[in-house]
Amino acid sequence: MADTLPMLAGVTVLDLASVGPAARATRILADYGAEVVKVGPVSRKAGKQIRPPFFSYGAGRGMRRVQIDLAAPEGRDALLALVAKADVFVESFRPGVAERLGLGWEALHAANPRLVYCSTSGYGQDGPYARFAGHDLNYLALGGFLACSTPRGDGGPPIPGATVADSAAGGMHAAIAILSALHARARTGEGARLDVSVAEGVLQLMSLHVDEHLATGAEPGPGSNVLTGRYACYDVYAAQDGKWLAVGAIEGAFFANLCRALGCEAWIPHQYDDARQDEIRAAFAAAFRGKDRDVWVAELAPADTCVSPVYEVSELVDDPHFAARGAFVEAKEAEHGTFRQTGPVLAGARRDVPVHEVPPPDHSNTDAVLREAGLDEGTLRRLREAGAIE
């Protein structure tokens, strides 16, 4: 693979978002080799856009940055010069804002009919909730994710341990839609408008449960089926050292292997007997308390039992399997020195990336990027004097 181009080599993406689902999506596209240009505000307006921590979203790995005042007519013209040669445009304004800036679908499609225009928002570009503010937790709540998760001690829905809506329902959703639109464009020559709703992405993630309800009238929730904790074969258990193990022995053969390894053979015929689940859980819990977590993992993981450790983040970053797979790479930042970060881990992305030199916060590739778009030195000077670029 080292001698081949990345899968998205030659694809240029303009990204107007600094955080959230859109930034997740363009991180994915950059990891597949797309040329991602982050479009940020000029410094006098920088307070209007969130600046993420230096290490987040891959620390800008494989991306360039331009600073343009989109509210200035000259700045809009500069962006349109970039749009004319771009393949993908990603924005995450509230519905209607891009249009007010003169950067809506109609305007950019006229400038570049081949452009794939992706809008990411919480609830979509239309509908009763379109202009509602929200964040990850809100979309997971609306889409049923929280209600189907094991409740907290007070009975309320849990706060998830990852931004599932931002990353999967939004970021991966947008990336899949963009890639599909690029594939269609290769056939038709036409761009596409993509209305990525994070809430609808959550619906897709929850489709097994939603479809069960629609087809049968059942009310999925904690403990309602095998995937939400109804049975002892799919649960978490504490080990002797207070650390936890995850058990996912859904298939009969795996469950039988686990029962034998734990000395619980008597329960093999009762895997899905609802009347015996409390007894099976108690037997498993007692057995797991007999050894430390990592001792159990060493014994059970290779034995077709579907057992894994419940890692803290500080543990998973040193896991030998992830290390062997090249999951983490290095970056270097002037103030913070060398640090590790999650690499391009999705299938097919290039993992042989060099150490990423994180540019300083005020670094900009504006001149170089606009020159490549065809702007001459005189135009760049006038734009800078007018405060439209930086």
Q: Which CATH superfamily is domain 226-238+244-309 in?
A: formyl-coa transferase, domain 3 (3.30.1540.10)
Task: Put residue 138 in one of left, alpha, beta given phi > 0 → left and psi -120 to 50 → alpha.
Answer: alpha
Point out the catalytic residue in the list 15, 69, 136, 166: 166
Strand ranges inside the chain, DSSP E: 12-15, 35-40, 63-67, 88-91, 116-121, 192-197, 234-238, 244-248, 307-309, 328-333, 337-342, 356-358
Q: Which of 126, 135, 273, 352 is catalytic?
A: 135
The per-residue pLDDT string of the chain (390 residues; one tens digit each, 9 = 90 and over) reads 445 889 999 999 999 999 999 999 999 999 999 999 999 999 877 666 778 899 999 999 999 999 999 999 999 999 999 999 999 999 999 999 999 999 999 999 999 999 999 999 999 999 999 999 999 999 999 999 999 999 988 989 999 999 999 999 999 999 999 999 999 999 999 999 999 999 999 999 999 999 999 999 999 999 999 999 999 999 999 999 999 999 999 999 999 999 999 999 999 999 999 999 999 999 999 999 999 999 999 999 999 999 999 999 999 999 999 999 999 999 999 999 999 999 999 999 988 899 999 999 888 999 999 999 999 999 999 999 999 999
Q: Look at residue 314 in the predicted model and tell me its pLDDT.
A: 97
Nearby residues of 286 by Cβ (< 8 Å), 6 or more positions away: none
Specify the CATH architecture of the domain 12-205+334-385. Answer: 3-Layer(aba) Sandwich (3.40)
Residue ranges of domains in the chain: 12-205+334-385, 226-238+244-309
Examine the residue annotation and report whether 376 is marked as an active-site residue of this protein. no
Active site residue 135: yes
Q: Collapse the DSSP code of 24 into the 3-class scheme (helix H, G, I; strand E, B; otherwise coil) and give the result.
A: helix
Of 132, 118, 114, residue with least CA distance to 89: 118
Residue 3 confidence (pLDDT): 54
